[in-house]
Chains A and B, each alone.
Chain A
Amino acid sequence: AQRVTQPEKLLSVFKGAPVELKCNYSYSGSPELFWYVQYSRQRLQLLLRHISRESIKGFTADLNKGETSFHLKKPFAQEEDSAMYYCALHSYSGAGSYQLTFGKGTKLSVIP
């Protein structure tokens, strides 16, 4: 069965410091991975996907199949980056649909 692990519940960094939010996955097929973000009082929204290989709001994430990881990185944290971040794996459920499996999330707090 597929699984997504985010080992840190809370990550605090100072403004301007580098950020790395860790995500590891377990999946027997070819993985499609995403990062979702939830800012305070807002709904869950897509931040980036590994297929597009783009940088969104300064964040990047590289899929490392050897280490089964998809860590989210940003070189210089900003206060507005403070939010809840979820790593998610898109996979076949085995019961008729493709679905997202989410990690437990990491709360990023950027200290001014």
Chain B
Amino acid sequence: EVQLVESGGNLVQPGGSLRLSCSASGFTFSNYAMHWVRQAPGKGLEYVSAINSNGGSTYYADSVKGRFTISRDNSKNTLYLQMSDLRPEDTAVFYCVKEPGSSNTIVPYYFDHWGQGTLVTVPS
């Protein structure tokens, strides 16, 4: 069974930093590109970032480019999101998501498994 478990969410002051983690199990983590999607409280879903299977290629939404860094450690089956210069508009539940395709490239895709999410709060 695929499991994605996020951690690291917290209350952080504007301008601060935080690192989210996502521990993956139930599939061959190193074969899949992985993604982060976020959801502000009471709002819709926003695509954040992607990383290919070996970590050599990444993508960022314009809203986080230059502030967030996605990475992975395939030896630990773990995905990361390093967030810096956090703003109140970054307040959201961050979901770690898996795409169904096994590929070394990152391409637009849908998401067949989602973690339960971790809440990041940046007060105004």
Same complex for A and B? Answer no
Interface residues of A, Cβ cutoff 8 Å to B? none
Residues of B within 8 A of A (CB): none
